[in-house]
Structure 1
Amino acid sequence: MKYLFFILWVLPVCVQAQHDSCRLKLSGYVLDKQSHEALAFASVYLSQSETGTITDLDGHFELNDLCPGDADLVISHLGCQSRTFRVQLTGDTAYTFHLEHDSRELNEVVVTEHREAYTGSLPTSSISSVRLQAISGKPLGTMLKEVPGVWTLQTGPSIAKPMIHGLHSNRVLIVQDGVRQEGQQWGSEHAPEIDPYTAGEITLIQGAAGVRYGSDAIGGVILVQPPPYPTDTAVHGSISLAAFSNSLGGSGATRWSGQSKKLPAMQWRATGSYRLGGDAATPNYRLANTAFRENNLSGAVKWSKAAWQTELGYSRFSTDLGILSVSHIGNLTDLEIALQADTPLILRDFSYYIQAPYQHIVHQVIRSFSTFRTGDIGHLDLNIAYQDNHR
C-alpha cells in the first residue's frame, strides 16, 4: 500500500517536470548565402517531431514548445538546395541559416513554328519536277491530265486546254511565274501558250483557296512555277529528248542556270525547246493536216541584295498547228456526207507539211518582279508584266 501511494505521488511530479521542460523556442532567419537577402516562404521543420513552419517576408521563423536536446532542422526553399542543420536545444535559441541557390545552366530552348497546309476545303495537288521530266515532250494541256481533277478539252493531237468541273477557258486561271496567262481563254481551239519545259512544278488550287486570284478562277488555278535558282557559282544544265511514235516526231529541250562568280548577287536561267510532229495516225489512215511545229525560248535574270531583289524575264512561245482538214465543212450537204462516210473525205499520205486551215501563234511575255523589304513592317512586292499574243 505504501508503494502504491509513492507512485501516485511521484508520477504527476515527473509529468509536470517533463511538461515544463518542453517549452523551449527556436527562432531565426533564413538568408541567401550569396546575397544575404531574406528567403520568404522557406520550409523549416524538425525531422524528429515533424514540427514545422514557413518563413515570413523577412525570412523569419519561430518554432515553439520544443523539448531540450539535439535536433535536426531541415530547411528548403524553391531554387535552393535543401539542407539539414544540427541544433542544440538547451533553452530559447536563435540562429541565422544560409541556403545556397542551386545554379544549373540549362540548354537554350528554341521554339519554331510550322504551319501545316490545310487540305479540308482547300484542296491542292501538283506535278513534281521528277514527274514532269518523265512526261516531257507533251503540250501543257495534255500534261495537266496528270493532276487529279483535271480533264482536257482537246481538238486534234496537239491542241489541248484544261477543264475542271466542266469549266474551262476564262473560268480556269493559269499563272506562269507570277503572271496571269491571258491568251488561252479566247476559244475552244486556243490552247495555253506556255512551254512546259520551263516548269519546275505545276500546282492545281481548287475550292475557296482560288478566291484570292479573282472571279475568273472559279474553276481553279493552275500555277506553273519555274525551278529555283542555283545557290552556288557552278553552271547547271540539262538536255531532254523525247520521241513520238504516232506522229513520227519528237521534242528536245535544254535548260541552263547559274550564279555569277564576279557578281554573286546575280543569278540567271535560260530555256530553249523545239517540238515537231507529222500527221497523226489511226489504225487505218492518217489524219490529214494535223502536223505541228513549236519552238520556244525564255530567260530570266535575278539580282538580290539584303534590302531588295528584282527579277527580269522574257519568254517567247511560237507554234504552227495544223487543223484537221475535214473538221471545217462549208455547208450542210458536205456535213451529211461526212457523217455517212466510213473514212474522212480528205485523206493524204503522212506528211510534216502544214496547210490551211492552221494556227500560227506567237506569244511573248516581258515581266519584272521586285521585292522591297521594310524591316519589321513587312515587304512590298511590285509585279509588272506585258503580254503580246499574235494569232
Structure 2
Amino acid sequence: MLLSFGWSLPVAAQTCSLTLDGTIKDAHDQSPMDEVSIFITETGIEQWTDSHGRFSFENLCPGTYHALLQHIGCPSKRVLVQVFQNTTLSLTLEHHENMLHEVDVHDKHEHAINEQSLSILTLDNSAGKSLAASVSRLAGVSILGNGADIGLPVVHGLWGNRLTLVNNGVVHTGQQWAGDHSPEIDLNSASEVSVISGAAAMRYPGTHMGGIVILESGQIPFDPHIHGKIRSTTESNGRGGTVNGQFYKGLETLQWRAGGTLKQYGDRHAPTYFLNNTGTRQAHANAELRKQWNNTLEWEGKYNYFSAEYGIMRGSHIGNLTDLQSAFSREIPFFTDSMFSYEIEAPRQRVKHHQLKSGLKKHIELGALEWHIAGQRDQRREYDVRRSGRSDMPALSLIQYSIQNEVQFSNEWLETGYQFLGRNNWNLPETGIIPLLPNYTAFTNGAFLALDRSFDHYELEFGTRYDYTFRSISKLSNSVPRVPVYYDDKYHNFSALGRVSTNLGTKWQLLAESSLRQRPPEINEMYSFGLHQGVSGIEEGNLELRQETGLKSSLQLRGKVNDKLHLDVRGYAHFFNGYIYLQPQQT
C-alpha cells in the first residue's frame, strides 16, 4: 500500500481565465510521452497527454497548484506550480525506472562513475525487506543470508570487511566483521541506493576492495506545504508487516524531512511446521534539516536511529559434532514447533545504532568547498542458550563510538580532500566470559584525489588515495594465567584506479577499469579468541597477518536493444596477495 497526501491553502475566488499547458517527455531520450495523467489537486480536474506529450488546463484562477503526474511503469511525480499568468511547463518522467537499474549514461555523484541504482518503484516495493535483500537484485550483487531478516550484501563475491557501506555520505561503522551481522541501516530512510565503482569511489574511506553501497536521502522538493508518504507491507508467513512514514516541507531556503519505520514478524513457517524463534522486531527513525544562504552557502544536519531484535532459529545452533551429523540427515530441523509465536528467545541479537551528521558547503568561483563531521554509536548484544538460567545474560556485548571528519574541494573535473576517522570499540563487562574481541582504539588519516576528463569519443578517470591507520589494542592473553597484553599496529595503505569509457552510438557504452587496493587485517582477523556463538565455532586470530592487496580488472558492455530489452554484460578478474580467510581446523 502506498499513500501520498498533502495540505494546501484554498485559492480565493477570482477571475479565472488563465491557461496552464506544457509537454511531458521521457527523462532518458526526451521522447514525448502519451497517456500521462495530470491531476490538479485543488481543482479536481484531470487531463491526459496526447501522442505529442502535450496537455492543457484552461480557466484557472491565479494561485498555487499541486499537479500529480502518473503513468504506467513510472513512479508518481508531484509538481508545485505557481500560476499568475498563462504558464507553459516542460516536464520529464523516469519512464524506465521500473527497470532494476539504469542503462543509459548518467551522473549522480558529480563525477561520471560506474553505478547501478535501485529505482524509486523498487524502493517503494522493498519497504519490508532488508538492505541486502534489496540490492541483491542488481547485477553482480548477491546476499549472504543468515536467517529471515539477517543478511549482508555481497558485491562481486566480496562482503564484510571488504565492502564499505556509506549512509548519507558517512562510512557506516558497526560490527560488519561477521556473516551473521546485518547492517544497522533502515532502507526506508533512503530515496537513492546505488552500488558504485570508478575513480570517484576513491573519495570514500574504508576497507573496500571492490564496490561501495551508497544510500542517500535525496533532495527535499520545493513545496511550502507539508507532504508525506506512508508505505506498508503485510505477509502471511510470519504474520507481520512493516509500516513506514516520511514527511517533508521545502521552503525556498529551509527544508526539513522526518520519518520512521516499525516492523514486526513472528515465527516463519514451512508447509508442515513453524521455524521456532525466527521473529523480528524493529523500530527506526530519521530526521533531516537543510538551510541555504544567498545561493552560495548550504548547511545540512541529519540523524538516523536503528533498533532491532532478531530471533535466531534454535535448530540452527549446533553444540557438538553428533548433533551436526544428525542435522544433516534430518528431514525436519531440530526445535520446530506446531504453534505460532511472536516471542523471541535465545539465541537472539539486539542492536542499536545512532548516526548524527553535520555538513557545510560553500560555493566559490573555482568550485565548491565542503566540511562534514559525523558521529556514530553502535551497541550489539548477542544471547546464546546458556546453562543455569543465564540465557538472559549476553554472550557478546560490544559498544562502539566513531567519528568521521572530512574537508574536500570539488569542481567539474577534480575532487580532492582529507579525512580523519576515529573508532573506539569496547566490551561491556556483563557476559561472564572472556570476550571474543579485544578492546581497541583506531585512528585513520586519509587523503584522496579523483580526476575525470571527457574527450570527443571517450572519458578518462583516475583516482588515488593514501591512508595511515594506527590501532591500540588491549586484551587478555590466550593462555593461562590470563594477563593483560597490549599491541600497537601501524599500516600504510595505497589505492589507485584507472578507467576509460566510450559510447558506441547513442545506446551502448563500453567501460574498462583496473584498480589496485590495499587493506589492513581487521581486528577480528588478528585478535579474536573464543566462541563466536553466531557461527557456533571457536575463532582464533593470527598475529602474523599482513596487509591484503587486491588487483582487479573489469570490462563492461551495457546498452539498450530496444525499449523492452536492456543488456548489461560484465566480466572481471580479481587477484589477491595475502588473502585473509577463516580456515577450519581439525580438533
Q: 1:57-96 maps to which residues of 2 (within 5 A)?
A: none
Preserved CA contact (<8 Å) 2:267 2:277: yes
State the Cα distance separating 1:209 from its structure 2 match. 5.0
Name the TM-score, length of structure 1 as normaliser.
0.66
Q: Is the 8 A contact 1:150 1:164 kept in 2?
A: yes
Q: Which has the larger radius of gyration?
A: 1
Identify the residue that residue 334 of structure 1 maps to in structure 2: 323
The one-letter code sitting in structure 1 at the alignment partner of 2:277 is N
**Which residue, 224, 238, 253 being the options, matches 1:233?**
224
Q: Could you say which residue in structure 1 is the equivalent of 2:403?
A: none
Report if the CA contact (8 A) 1:211-1:218 is conserved: no
Question: 2:140 matched to 1:149?
Answer: yes
Instruction: Report deviation, 1:347.
Output: 1.7
CA distance in structure 1 between the partners assigned to 2:353 and 2:214 by the alignment: 18
Report the CA distance between 1:125 and its aligned residue.
1.0
**Identity rate of aligned residues, in percent?**
34
Q: Tell me the residue number matched to 1:368.
A: 358
**Which structure carries more helix by proportion?**
1
- Which residue in the other structure is 1:298 paired with? 286
3-state SS in 1 of match to 2:188: helix
Q: Is 1:318 paired with 2:307?
A: yes
Aligned amino acid, residue 290 of structure 2: K
- 1:131-150 alignment to 2 at 5 Å? 131-150=122-141
Residue correspondence of structure 1 range 1-391 to structure 2 within 5 A? 117=106, 123-183=114-174, 185-206=176-197, 210-214=201-205, 216-260=207-251, 264-306=252-294, 307-348=296-337, 349-373=339-363, 375-391=364-380
Amino acid at match of 1:366: L
More divergent stretch after superposition (275-284 vs 359-368): 275-284
Per-residue deviation, 1:122: 5.2
Note closer, same or farther for the CA distance 1:129–1:357 as it changes in structure 2 (3 Å cut): same
Deviation at 1:190, TM superposition (A): 0.7
**Contact 1:296/1:316, CA 8 A, preserved across alignment:** yes
How well do the aligned residues superpose, as a CA RMSD in angstroms?
1.9
Query: What is the rounded CA distance, in whole Å, between the counterparts of 1:326 and 1:244 in structure 2?
Result: 23
Report if the CA contact (8 A) 1:184-1:193 is conserved: no
Distance in 1 (alpha carbons) for counterparts of 2:205 and 2:287: 28
- In the alignment, structure 1 segments of 5+ residues that lack a partner are 1-115
Contact 2:163/2:211, CA 8 A, preserved across alignment: yes
Residue number in structure 2 paired with 1:72? none
Once the two structures are superposed, what CA deviation does each residue of 1:202-223 show, in whole Å capped at 9, x if it has no partner?
A: 1111355533434622221111
Match of 1:295, SS state, is: strand
Report the Cα distance in structure 1 between the residues aligned to 2:209 and 2:245, rounded to whole angstroms: 35
Note if contact 2:171-2:205 (Cα within 8 Å) is conserved in structure 1: no
Q: Tell me how far 1:332 sits from its aligned partner.
A: 1.8
Unpaired stretches in structure 2, ≥5 consecutive residues? 1-104, 381-587
Higher strand share: 2
- Kept after mapping to 1: 8 A contact 2:171/2:204: no
Distance in 2 (CA, whole Å) between partners of 1:122 and 1:309 is 25
Quote the offset at 1:130 in angstroms.
Answer: 2.1
Q: Residue 234 of structure 1: CA displacement? A: 1.3
SS at match of 1:247: coil
**Structure 2 CA distance, aligned partners of 1:225 and 1:212?**
16
Give me the whole-angstrom Cα distance separating, in 2, the residues matched to 1:299 and 1:387: 15
Q: Partners in 2 of 1:352 and 1:312 — Cα distance?
A: 37
Q: Deviation digits for residues 121-180 of structure 1, max 9, x if unmatched?
A: 953211122221123211111111122211000001100110012100121111111111
Q: Does the C-alpha gap of structure 1 residues 209 and 378 become closer, same or farther in structure 2, counting only changes over 3 Å?
A: closer
Q: C-alpha offsets along residues 22-63 of structure 1, whole Å, 9 cap, x if unaligned?
A: xxxxxxxxxxxxxxxxxxxxxxxxxxxxxxxxxxxxxxxxxx
Counterparts of 1:215 and 1:363 in 2: how far apart (Å)? Answer: 19
Q: CA deviation at 1:342?
A: 2.2
Deviation of 1:184 after TM superposition, in Å, equals 5.2
SS in 2 for 1:130: helix
In 2, Cα distance between equivalents of 1:371 and 1:122 = 22
Aligned length: 270
TM superposition shift of 1:278: 1.0
SS at match of 1:167: coil
CA contact (8 A) 1:210 1:218 kept: no
For residue 524 of structure 2, what is the aligned residue in structure 1?
Answer: none
- How far 1:245 sits from its partner (Å)? 2.2
Q: Distance in 2 between matches of 1:170 and 1:256?
A: 35
Q: TM-score, normalised by structure 2?
A: 0.44
CA distance in 2, matches of 1:128, 1:184: 28
Contact map agreement 2:284 2:305 (CA 8 A) in 1? yes
Are residues 124 and 318 of structure 1, via their aligned partners in 2, closer, same or farther at CA, if it must alter by over 3 Å?
A: same
In 2: Cα distance, 1:363 partner to 1:382 partner: 23
Cα pair 1:171 1:220 within 8 Å, conserved: no
Letter in 1 for 2:359: F
* SS of alignment partner, residue 234 of structure 1: strand
In the alignment, the residues of structure 2 paired with residue 132 and residue 117 of structure 1 have an alpha-carbon distance, to the nearest angstrom, of: 19
Stretch of structure 1 that moved more, 156-165 or 123-132: 123-132
1:343 deviation in Å? 1.3
Q: Is the 8 A contact 1:299 1:314 kept in 2?
A: yes
In structure 1, give the amino acid aligned to 2:352. V
Q: Could you tell me how far apart the structure 1 residues matched to 2:168 and 2:303 are?
A: 11
CA distance, structure 2, for counterparts of residue 296 and residue 213 of structure 1? 25
